[in-house]
Amino acid sequence: MATIDDVAKAAGVSKSTVSNVFTKKRPISKGVSDKVLEVSKQLNYKPNYWARTLATKETRIIGLNMQAERIKFSQFHLSLVNGVLHECYGRGYQLLINTLSSDYKNDIQNQVSNPVDGEILMDPAVDDERIKKELSKERPCVVIGKPPKHLDQTLSYIDNDNVGIAYELTSHLLTLGHEKILFLNAAKHKTVALDRAQGFQTAFEDNGKRCPHELILNKTINNTSIEFGYDTAFRFLQERNRITAVIADTDKMALGVYQAASALNITIPKHLSVFAFSDDSVFESEFQPRLSSARLNAEQLGEGAARLLIEQIQENNKLVKRIVIPSEVCHRGSTSTKFLEG
C-alpha cells in the first residue's frame, strides 16, 4: 500500500499538506487539494488506520465483551448484538466483539491494551475482574446488567428490573395456587442472581408465605444450562411432595426442565408450570407447549448500552446514568393453575 510519503512526493507537496487534505483540519487551496486527491486515487492511497489512531488516540470502535457457554451465543445475546450494531450504524462506529479466553489474554505475548474507544461489559459478577480492569484505565465503560453494589454510583449501566420481574412471575404462580416453586437461578457470582432471588423472596413474603430458600438453586459452572435445568428439575420432580412450578433463568434452562418433565411423564402445564426469563427463543419449536416467559428485550438493552457508551465517549460526559428497560410477561402455554389431585 502507498503511504502518505509516496503521495506527498508524487504530488510535490509535504506530508502535512496531504494529511490536511484528508483530515480537513487546515484549509488547503483547491488546486493543491485536487492534485493530492488525484494522486491518491492513482496510487490507491488511504490513510493507515492504525497510524492515524496512534496519533489521534481515537479508533471509532467500541468493544463488546461477552462470554458464552461453550462459545455459542444464545438468542438473547445475538439480539443484543443486533441492537448494538443498529446504534453503531447511525453513529459511525464499528463493533469489536471480544470473546477471547482469559488463558489467551493472560499470555504475556498477548498482553495489550484494548483497541477500542470504550467497552460494553455484559453479565457482571459480584466481584468482577473485568470491571476492575476497565476502571483502572480511564476508558469509558457501560455495563449491561447491574454492577456490583459498591460501584453503583460509579458506572453507567442499563438493565431490566430483575427484582420486579422475578416478583411478578412468582406472584403470578402463587396466585395460580402454586407454592412449591423451584427457582433455577443464574450462577451465584452474577449480580443478576441476587436481584432475582430477592424478587422471588419478596413475592412470597408479600403473600404472607415463607420463602422456600431451599428451592432456590444457582447454576453451577460445570454444567451447561440445559444440563443444569434437566438434572435439577429431574431431582425435584421425583420427590414425594413434589414441586408444581419452575422459574428458569434462561430458555435453555427451561428446555432442560421440559426434557426432565417429559422423561418423568409429567405434563406441562397440567402438572407442572414453567416460566423463564428469556428473549424470543430460537428453539421455540422445541417447546411443546409454548414457553411462558418474561421478555427481556435484549435488542433494546443493546441499543441503549451502545448509545450510552458513545455519548460518554463523545461528550466526555462522566455523568453516571442508569437505564431500566421494561419487560413484559408473555403468558403462553406453559403455565396454569395448580392441578388438584383426586
Partner DNA sequence: TATTTTAATAAAACCGGTTTAAGATTGGTA
Partner DNA sequence: TACCAATCTTAAACCGGTTTTATTAAAATA
Footprint on this chain of a copy of itself (rule: CB under 8 A): 1, 21-24, 37, 44, 46-54, 59, 61, 71-73, 75, 78-79, 81-82, 85-86, 88-90, 92, 94-101, 104, 108-115, 136-137, 280, 282-285, 290
CB of 243 to a copy of itself, least distance (A): 27
| Binding partner of residue 16 among a copy of itself, DNA, none, CB cut-off 5 to 8 Å per kind | DNA
Report how far residue 229's alpha carbon sits from residue 48's, in angstroms, rounded to the nearest whole number.
50
- Residue 207 touching DNA (CB under 7 A): no
Q: How many CA atoms lie within 13 A of 218 on its CB side?
A: 13
Single out the residue of 34, 38, 42, 56 in contact with DNA (rule: CB under 7 A).
56
Name which position in 34, 38, 42, 51 contacts DNA (CB under 7 A): 51
The number of residues that bind DNA (CB under 7 A) is 33
Distance CA 279, CA 75 (A): 7
Q: Which of 34, 38, 42, 48 binds DNA (CB under 7 A)?
A: 48
Interaction of residue 16 with DNA, rule CB under 7 A: yes
17 binds, among a copy of itself, DNA, none (CB under 5 to 8 A by kind): DNA
Angle (CA) 267-271-277 rounded to 5° is 85
| Chosen from a copy of itself, DNA, none, partner binding at 262 (C-beta under 5 to 8 Å by type) | none
Quick one: 23 or 207, whose CB is closer to a copy of itself?
Answer: 23
Let me know if 9 is exposed, middle or buried by CB neighbors in 10 A (0-12, 13-18, 19+): middle
Using CB under 7 A as the binding rule, whether residue 25 contacts DNA is answered as yes
Q: Note whether 230 and 220 are within 8 A (CB).
A: no
Between CA 24 and CA 287 the distance in angstroms is 57
Grid cell listed for 33: 487539494
Report the C-alpha gap between 70 and 102 in whole angstroms.
Answer: 14
CA–CA distances in Å: residue 132 to residues 48, 101, 135, 242, 311:
32, 17, 5, 43, 22
What's the CA angle centered on 258, arms 257 and 263, to 5 degrees?
Answer: 95
Q: Least CB distance from residue 114 to DNA, whole Å?
A: 12
The minimum distance between CB 14 and a copy of itself, in angstroms, equals 18
Q: Interface with DNA includes 114 (CB under 7 A)? A: no
φ and ψ at residue 142, rounded to 5 degrees = -125, 140
Contact indicator for 274, 292 with CB cutoff of 8 Å: yes
Residue 342 sits in the site that holds DNA (CB under 7 A): no
Q: Which does 154 bind (CB under 5 to 8 A by kind): a copy of itself, DNA, none?
A: none
Report the residue from 10, 28, 255, 313 that binds DNA according to the rule CB under 7 A: 28
List contacts with DNA (CB under 7 A): 1-5, 12-20, 22-23, 25-29, 31-33, 45-48, 51-52, 54-56
